[in-house]
Structure 1
């Protein structure tokens, strides 16, 4: 199935990649009701930083509990150096901070999975044509969270072998594009942007580099 363009993020974190998968499924779904549900999910998981702050503040320990834990730490490590106590208290403060990156990503992961379960999206996407998505071996691509999201969305993830860019058909497109673009004098960023889009479209429409790859790999997972 041809993958239609989606609003890919510049970030490579698991929550952002999950949104990209949702957008791919959304762009390649025929059932109008399922499209509406996917659109709703995408809007709800695209939380602003302020909304994440509010969720974390609501879930954080109250001042009394936090203070009690700090006092227990001081008592427990009273025979250690001041720097040791400060380091341990600092770690605890960092865990509770609303700026903690791991906590912020975990909130996004939980919200995404909860919405998919709440909307029973698996029962809806299984009736859609399956999507095969080619990925490299970046650790986030192979995480349990991303694999679970893909399962819900009826997307099969295909991982190319490590250090084997020749197995990725897009690499052949990049090669063709570079060969074409280097012939031009790049007078501005705008010119380069327009030329890149034009060259990409020309390469995609005018090449068959993916045919052999498709015949070799897709039947094994389809």
Structure 2
């Protein structure tokens, strides 16, 4: 997940998924790259560090929210004693209740990650320093996760303004050309490990961004028409 800056510093975030909590981390990286307040950079780096939980830590947080054994049994008995449920309906309800308590439930894992990063960043000190600096305007596409409540809330805390492109208009977004250029460079080599691929991609990304003139045509074609 990357950003290229018309004014300011570009950034890149490496992540295995592009879920709401991952997108949130990318926006925090953008703020860190463009902040001139050392204490704010330090606070945001701490947010990222504290939010990077291990699988065991996530399971621990999930287990803390699980029902007690007594409550779980009561929920099951309530359904078992519901004479209006068919055997199939009862089985489905019991399966659903069991999944909710499962520490490996992906929805609960993602929800926990979202809660943790929001709790860590939703601090008055971070808001105060973020609003001492000029607002950052980010132009992005309509990918559904870009409009997630978590993402909007974190951008509000970080003093960022999200400007969504019209639907199905990648030609309006200069970073699409960056990705295409990076892919051309990447496919020319063979990588012996994921780590080597990531390292080469980061190097390639910033080389492409720094050497390319992706905004020249964009300014002439689009920006001047709206100013």
Normalised to the residue count of structure 1, the TM-score between the two structures is 0.81
Q: Which runs of 5+ in 2 are unaligned?
A: 1-6
Alignment map for 1:123-142 (pairs within 5 Å): 123-142=128-147
CA distance in 1, matches of 2:182, 2:113: 36
Q: Which of 82, 87, 97 is residue 82 of structure 1 equivalent to?
A: 87
Q: Which runs of 5+ in 1 are unaligned?
A: none
Normalised to the residue count of structure 2, the TM-score between the two structures is 0.80
In the superposition, relative to structure 1, how do residues 154 and 84 fare at CA in structure 2: closer, same or farther (>3 Å)?
same
- Kindly name which structure, 1 or 2, has the bigger radius of gyration based on alpha carbons: 1
CA drift of 1:152 comes to 0.8
Q: C-alpha deviations, 1:56-96, integer Å up to 9, x for none?
A: 111111101100110011001x3543222111111111122
CA distance in 1, matches of 2:70, 2:89: 23
Q: C-alpha deviations, 1:172-198, integer Å up to 9, x for none?
A: 3345566x759x9x46337x9698777
- The structure 1 segments of at least 4 consecutive aligned residues displaced by more than 6 Å after TM superposition are 194-199, 218-221
CA distance in 1, matches of 2:60, 2:74: 23
In the superposition, relative to structure 1, how do residues 175 and 39 fare at CA in structure 2: closer, same or farther (>3 Å)?
closer
In the superposition, relative to structure 1, how do residues 139 and 177 fare at CA in structure 2: closer, same or farther (>3 Å)?
closer
Task: Give the number of equivalent residue pairs.
Answer: 216
Aligned to 2:154: 149
RMSD: 3.1
CA drift of 1:159 comes to 1.8
Aligned to 1:160: 165
CA distance in 2, matches of 1:51, 1:18: 20
Q: Residue 12 of structure 2 contacts residue 202 of structure 2 at CA under 8 Å; is this kept in 1?
A: no
CA drift of 1:43 comes to 0.9
Q: Which of 19, 35, 51 is residue 57 of structure 2 equivalent to?
A: 51
Aligned to 2:70: 64
